[in-house]
Chain A
Amino acid sequence: MEFTEKHVEGLKDLLYKMADDLLIIGHRNSEWTGLGPVLEEDIAFSSMAQDKLGQANALYGLLHELGESDPDTIAFMRNDKQFHCCQLVEMPIGGYDFSLTRHFFYDHADAIRFEMLKDSVFEPLAMVANKFRGEVKYHTMHADTWMRHLGKGDETSKARMQNAINETFPMALGIFEESIYEQELMESGIFAGEKTLKEMWLTKVEQIIESAGLTLPDINSVTPVYGGRKGQHSQYLQPLLEEMTEVFRIDPGAEW
């Protein structure tokens, strides 16, 4: 079918929020580089952070093809109000319990979203989704393995992971904050929508959390943290952007 102007707007909105999530969580996770709990995990977590930047870059590239600015400009020249990431990804890294739990919740949503997008009628996006399936699969394997090990570790690790799950869950639900273009995305066949994604995600994360001997809070007992998709962010995003873009802003025209 032919895309209307609203379909294209919906598509851009989808690409922006996906890419912004990836850029910001990639940056946050890279903050663990050199500080990870053990050398091997430090390397694995840093490497996955780099994967996320690569994925963000590919999605910004699609936006560029749709007429938006080039990826560097999009990534480095916007302020927090112009970012579409959910608030989950902008939170400081906290302890490793929080960072792992965020990685677990986020990466499962990312994996299912990419899986759904493999069937998108917007072929460039379907191709990108397919291209990153191996990376995304490893990321969820990594998250699941840690979740199960710490859930079944000792009383301390179990308590810390349960606490991290309880604290992170409302923010994780913010991933699925609906866009004003849900209807357009679904009717055009670009994307099957946040509701479907959320249902699939809930089933998946609950199953793994339970297999780890932990509990996912009742979704009806928590208030999702929304706003990120509409440019409303926590106090933590703007300082992150300032640090991330510090070198770029010294000389935006520099050739790298």
Chain B
Amino acid sequence: MTIHSLDPRVNRAEIDGEAKIGHLDEFDYWQTYEVFVQIKRGTHHSHVGSVHAPDPEMAILFAKEQYTRRGVCVNLWVVKTSDIFTTEYNDSDIFETTPEKYHRDPESYKVMDRIKAYKEKHNSQS
């Protein structure tokens, strides 16, 4: 049985409705690459998602259309997902930080008054 559809492309593809879905050979499994986009030269690259690809060259090719076709980009990185090292969600408590660290918070440093005073002095002289 050939699948008939309202979409002429599907009919044209002559998809065999009886066809069994077979297993992929090992060669057919593609790994994933994580994609990083830089929107302006000199700024950092931001992670935007991933693509399936057989190698980095194809990953770049696909990433360009998946992630930059509607936005600004000057540079792309792709990194094999398996090369990314990650923390465990079980350990996410390591990111909890206690608030009583006035020595670390920038507001502990009372410099704004002095900056303001300097600016006023400088302006009044010019």
Interface residue ranges, A against B (CB under 8 Å): 31-35, 38-41, 43-44, 47-48, 92-93, 138, 141-142, 145, 149, 154, 243
Chain A's closest residue to B28 (CB) is A38
Q: Is B9 an interface residue (CB 8 A)?
A: yes
A31 touches B65 (CB 8 A): no
**Is A145 within 8 A of B52, CB to CB?**
no
- B11: min CB distance to chain A, Å: 11
How far in angstroms is the closest Cβ of chain B from A209?
18
Q: Quick check: is B44 within 8 A (CB to CB) of the other chain?
A: no
Residue in A32, A34, A47 whose beta carbon sits within 8 Å of that of B7 in the complex: A34
Asked if A145 contacts B57 (CB within 8 A), the reply is yes
> How many angstroms between the C-alpha atoms of A47 and B52 in the bound complex?
17
Closest to A154 in B: B27
**Dominant secondary structure of chain A at its interface with chain B:** helix
Q: Which of B57-78 contact A (CB under 8 A)?
A: 57-58, 61-62, 64-66, 69
* CB–CB A35/B52 < 8 A: no
A41 touches B7 (CB 8 A): no
Q: In which size bucket is the chain B interface?
A: 20 to 34
Q: For B12, list chain A residues within 8 Å (CB).
A: 31, 92-93
Q: Is B8 an interface residue (CB 8 A)?
A: yes
Chain B, residues 1-15, CB within 8 Å of chain A (1/0): the string is 000000111101100
Q: Report which of A32, A43, A149 forms a contact with B65, defined as CB distance below 8 A.
A: A43
Q: In the complex the two chains form, is B8's CB within 8 Å of A40's CB?
A: no
Given A40-B53, A47-B69, A154-B27, also A35-B9 (CB < 8 A)? yes
Tell me, in angstroms, the Cα distance from A141 to B62 when the chains sit together.
11
Q: In the complex, what residue of chain B is closest to A31 when comparing beta carbons?
A: B9
B118 on the A face (CB < 8 A) = no
Which residues in B have their C-beta under 8 angstroms from that of A138? 64
The answer to whether B51 and A35 touch across the interface, beta carbons within 8 angstroms, is no
In the complex, chain A residues whose CB is within 8 Å of the CB of B65: 40, 43-44, 47-48
Query: Do residues B57 and A40 form an inter-chain contact, with CB atoms below 8 A?
Result: no
A43 to B66, Cβ gap below 8 A?
A: yes
Contacts beyond the supplied A40-B66, A44-B66, A149-B55: 7 A-B pairs with Cβ under 8 Å: A31-B12, A35-B10, A40-B51, A44-B61, A44-B65, A138-B64, A142-B61
